[in-house]
């Protein structure tokens, strides 16, 4: 396919942008898989981040936020799974700083160019001997193992690469993330990392990330719980050679669309890989009073345990969708709501259509369930993603530490 400035090309094979290296290793947090990794840019990259609003924000998350806020630049991010380094008090903060310094020393860069990320069990001290050993083993390669090294209860890595033309130059944007449980973000998801070789200022990148997160990661939910370690970090090193992007640039919408395509895919991957999930659920709201209310209603439906259980049980009990809508403060035409599941209309003008239960049960067997809702209160829309609630979710979380 010939690429034009108006064409986005989704790349099926994961590809690092120009100037980026990565690696992973087994440091011993987990018995039999890689559990540490890093990202590295050959030059300092402009950076942006969004972070959990949980009051018990973990030490690595706080330090990365402080580091990025200094000058919106990073050159490396080091990460581990198996231990969150959260709720460890002053020792946790000291260990986070040491993890940052050890990485900087290994790469011979300024510590203030190093972000860190941790995920795993909360409240256990970070074993610094394992951190030190892991950092000493990491190399500057094109290894994609880092996409697996951050996983906890995830069943697979979540990755995405999109290429587009900016200022006549091919720009690559790649993202990977982890997230399966404790997902109800108010900023992003568990851990997400996006790299791009586009040239764009840190301030513009931060604005783009914050705006796009609100439309993607902030519109997913698995279990209604917000983690202490949630973070999404973006690094843009400019290696593609385009003129630095600004909002006034005619190619800015193309880059923004490619960026959103990456984050949207990753958000859907997290929703579909919710702990124990058997189905990806997408809710599309139309006829909302404004976009904020459309988003609110969509997330309320996809986050309702009653709706999630209904979908797992393949039961067309549309009343559960109506109660989820009614619990919000959104404007609603109480006599005009319509609801459809996989294009089967269950509700029209707020009344059941009498559709055959067997037809609804059959469509709910699909791996993806799409719920369309029309509030008839305006012209705005909203979308959210989630999953069903299964017996396995309880099994996983009843024995998480083991």
279 annotated as ligand-binding: no
Domain co-membership, 144 together with 291: no
- Answer yes or no: do 153 and 298 share one domain: no
Give me the mean pLDDT over the 357-377 stretch. 95
The whole-number pLDDT of residue 395 equals 62
Max CA distance (Å), the chain: 68
The more confident residue out of 251 and 189 is: 251
Domain count, the chain: 2
Do residues 78 and 116 make contact, with C-beta atoms less than 8 angstroms apart?
Answer: yes
Among 145-159, 230-244, 284-298, name the one with the lowest average pLDDT.
145-159
Q: Minimum mean pLDDT among 6-15, 194-203, 220-229, 371-380: which range?
A: 220-229
Burial label for 351, CB within 10 Å (0-12, 13-18, 19+), is exposed
Q: How far apart are CA 155 and CA 402, in angstroms?
A: 17
Residues 284 and 255 in one domain: no
Q: Which of 2-11, 264-273, 286-295 has the highest mean pLDDT?
A: 286-295
Encode pLDDT of 65-83 as tens digits.
999 999 999 999 999 999 9
Domain boundary among 227, 242, 272: 272
Q: Which of 67, 159, 172, 189 is catalytic?
A: 189
Q: What is the domain range of residue 319?
A: 280-398
pLDDT value, residue 73: 97
Q: Is 172 an annotated catalytic residue?
A: no
> What's 141's DSSP letter?
B
- Whether residue 317 is found in the same domain as residue 392: yes
User: 155 with 188, same domain?
Assistant: yes
Query: 8 or 206: whose pLDDT is higher?
Result: 206
Are 390 and 334 in the same domain?
A: yes
Residue 402 assigned to a binding site: yes
Any bridge partners for residue 194, and if so which? Answer: 175, 234
- Same-domain pairing of 63 and 121: yes
Q: Are residues 384 and 368 in the same domain?
A: yes
Mark whether 257 and 304 lie in a shared domain.
Answer: no
Check residue 151 and give its pLDDT: 87
Cα distances (angstroms) measured from residue 360 to each of 281, 329, 345: 15, 29, 9
According to DSSP, residue 365 is labeled: T
397 is in an annotated binding site: yes
- Domain ends where: 238, 272, 306? 272
Write down which residue in 272, 305, 332 finishes a domain: 272
Q: Is 189 within any annotated ligand binding site?
A: yes
- Residue 276 pLDDT grade (very low, low, confident, very high; cuts 50, 70, 90): low
- Let me know whether 148 and 198 are in one domain: yes
Question: Is residue 203, in this structure, part of any structural domain at all?
Answer: yes
């Amino acid at each position: 396919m010939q690429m034009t400035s108006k064409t986005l090309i989704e790349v099926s094979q994961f590809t690092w942008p120009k100037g980026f290296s990565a690696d992973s290793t087994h440091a011993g947090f987990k018995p039999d898989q890689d559990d540490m990794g890093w990202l590295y840019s050959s030059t300092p990259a402009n950076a942006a981040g969004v972070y959990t609003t949980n009051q018990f924000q973990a030490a690595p998350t706080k330090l990365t936020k402080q580091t990025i806020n200094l000058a919106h630049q990073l050159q490396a991010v080091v990460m581990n799974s198996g231990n969150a380094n959260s709720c460890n008090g002053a020792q946790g903060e000291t260990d986070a700083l040491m993890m940052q310094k050890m990485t900087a020393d290994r790469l011979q860069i300024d510590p203030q160019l190093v972000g860190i990320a941790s995920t795993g069990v909360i409240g256990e001290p970070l074993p610094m001997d394992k951190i030190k050993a892991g950092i000493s083993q990491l190399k500057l390669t094109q290894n994609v193992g880092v996409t697996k090294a951050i996983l906890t209860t995830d069943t697979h890595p979540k990755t995405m690469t999109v290429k587009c033309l900016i200022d006549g130059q091919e720009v690559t944007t790649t993202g990977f993330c982890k997230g399966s449980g404790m997902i109800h973000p108010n900023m992003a998801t568990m851990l997400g990392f996006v790299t791009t070789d586009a040239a764009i200022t840190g301030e513009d990148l931060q604005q783009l990330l914050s705006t796009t997160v609100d439309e993607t990661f902030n519109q997913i939910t698995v279990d209604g719980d917000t983690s202490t370690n949630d973070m999404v970090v973006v690094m843009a090193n400019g290696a593609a050679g385009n003129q630095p992007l600004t909002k006034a640039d005619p190619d800015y919408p193309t880059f923004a669309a490619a960026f959103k395509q990456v984050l949207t895919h990753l958000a859907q991957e997290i929703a579909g890989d919710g702990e124990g999930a058997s189905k990806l659920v997408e809710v599309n709201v139309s006829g909302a009073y404004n976009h904020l209310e459309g988003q609110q209603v969509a997330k309320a439906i996809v986050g309702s345990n009653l709706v999630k259980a209904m979908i797992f049980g393949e039961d067309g009990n549309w009343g559960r969708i109506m109660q989820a809508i009614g619990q919000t403060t959104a404007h609603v035409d109480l006599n005009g709501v319509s609801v459809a599941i996989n294009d089967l209309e269950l509700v029209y003008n707020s009344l059941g259509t009498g559709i055959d239960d067997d037809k609804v049960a059959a469509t709910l067997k699909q791996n993806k369930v799409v719920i369309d809702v029309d509030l008839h209160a305006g012209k705005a829309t909203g979308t959210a993603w989630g999953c069903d609630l299964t017996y396995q979710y309880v099994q996983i979380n009843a024995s998480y530490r083991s």
